[in-house]
Amino acid sequence: MEKAIVVVDELYDFLTGGSLACGHSLEAVAATKALLERNKGRIPVLFICDHHPANHCSFVEQGGPWPPHCVAGTRGGEIHDDLKPFVTEELTFNKGCNPAVEQYSGFEGRNAAGQSLAEVLQLLGTEVVYVVGIATEYCVRNTAEDLLKAGFKVTVLEDCLGWVDAEGHKNTLPELSREGVRIK
C-alpha cells in the first residue's frame, strides 16, 4: 500500500513566540523532524502551509477570530528551519490564499504548479496518509476528515500534533477516531 506523510502548518506563527503560538508546537516539530529522519525519503512528504493575504477574513481586523498570522512573504508563514531539508516545491501546498475564504483543510491546498494536494496524492498512488502538525482542532482535523471522505486510510500521529487549546485537542482525537481516523 502506497503511503504519504502530510505535515500541516508547522510554520513559525503557530510555534512558540509566533503570533498564534500553539501548545506542544516545538515538541511537534521535534517529533516530526525525527519521523522524517527515520523515513529517509522512503515515503513522500507533503507540506501544507497556511498562506494568507494581509487582509484575510480570519483576522481580527476583518472581524475574524484570529490575530494576523502566516501572511504571505513573512517569516511567520515559513516552515520551521529543522524541516526545510525535507521540503520540495512540488510537494508544498498553500491554503487560505483567498482573502474572503477561511480554509482550514489542506485538502484543496495548491502547489506552485497549481495542483491540489488531493490531486498529487492520487498521482502518487497513495492509499494511506499519515497526518501530523498544527492545529489538531482546526487544520489537522479538517484535513484528516477530507482525506477520509476521499477514501484514503488516515492515521494521525499524536506525538507530532500541536493545538490552540489543550482541551480542544483532547476532545478532537476521540471524535476523529469515531469517524474512522486511526490515532497512533
User: What is the dihedral sign for C-alpha 107, 112, 114, 120?
Assistant: negative
The residue with its CB nearest to ligand VGL is 139
Tell me which of Zn ion, ligand VGL, none is bound by residue 143, counting a contact when its beta carbon lies within the kind-specific cut-off of 5 to 8 angstroms: none
> Would you count residue 50 as binding Zn ion (CB under 5 A)?
yes
Element (H, E) at 146: helix 141-149
> 102 vs 119, which CB is nearer to ligand VGL?
102
Q: And the C-alpha cell for 98?
A: 483567498
- Total number of residues binding Zn ion (CB under 5 A)? 1
The only residue of 12, 86, 104, 107 in contact with ligand VGL, by rule CB under 6 A? 104
Region of 72-80, 118-126, 135-143, 175-183 interacting with ligand VGL (CB under 6 A):
135-143
Residue 95 catalytic?
Answer: yes
Distance of CA 147 to the CA centre of its chain: 12
How far apart (Å, rounded) are the C-alpha atoms in residues 99 and 58?
8
Residue 139 catalytic?
Answer: yes
Q: And the C-alpha cell for 10?
A: 508547522
List 49, 70, 139, 160, catalytic entry:
139
- State the pairing for strand pair 153-162/128-134: parallel
Region of 119-127, 132-140, 149-157, 170-178 interacting with ligand VGL (CB under 6 A):
132-140
The beta-strand segments (E) located in 36-119 are 45-50, 92-95
The binding site for ligand VGL (CB under 6 A) comprises 9, 50, 58, 66, 104, 134-135, 138-139
